[in-house]
Amino acid sequence: MKSITILLATCLLLLSIKEAKAQSLKSLDEITKKHQACLDTGVDMLGCSKMYYLQVDSLLNVAYNQLRFKMSGSDKESLKKEQLAWLKKRDSYFKQQNLMFQRKFEEGEWGSDMAMITYSDQAGFVKERVVVLLKRVNKK
């Protein structure tokens, strides 16, 4: 089931990204709107948020590679170091969130709604980085 979800997310992302550069910001907006529309249906909201996270995470890779492609050797190395530092920050943030969620879930305070919120929040964290990278792509 996970592989089908990942495949579907990848296909949807590839369909939504038609052009590089400025289109990527537009694609990010479209992904966000589709996520909200999915949530608005009230059906499988956890699945909506998981899909949103996967799509934003895929777009992060697209944005990173677009920017890297336009750079010289030393700039590429600097971007790599910057991205690795951001990934550590992301991993720490996600770990804290997941520990809090797990503790609250075990106490019976939170259920699948909180899992949905956690995925959406994690997608928002990644989305911020995507926007930073895409703005840099569009400057070059």
Structural domain boundaries of the chain? 2-139
**pLDDT tens digit string along 82-139?**
999 999 999 999 999 888 888 877 777 667 788 888 899 999 999 999 999 999 998 8
Residue 92's CB is within 10 A of a number of other CB atoms, namely 10
Nearby residues of 75 by Cβ (< 8 Å), 6 or more positions away: none
In this prediction, residue 103 carries a pLDDT of 81
Q: How far is CA 37 from the centre of its chain?
A: 17
In this prediction, residue 2 carries a pLDDT of 59
CB-based contact 70:140 (threshold 8 Å): yes
Mean pLDDT computed over 41-70: 94
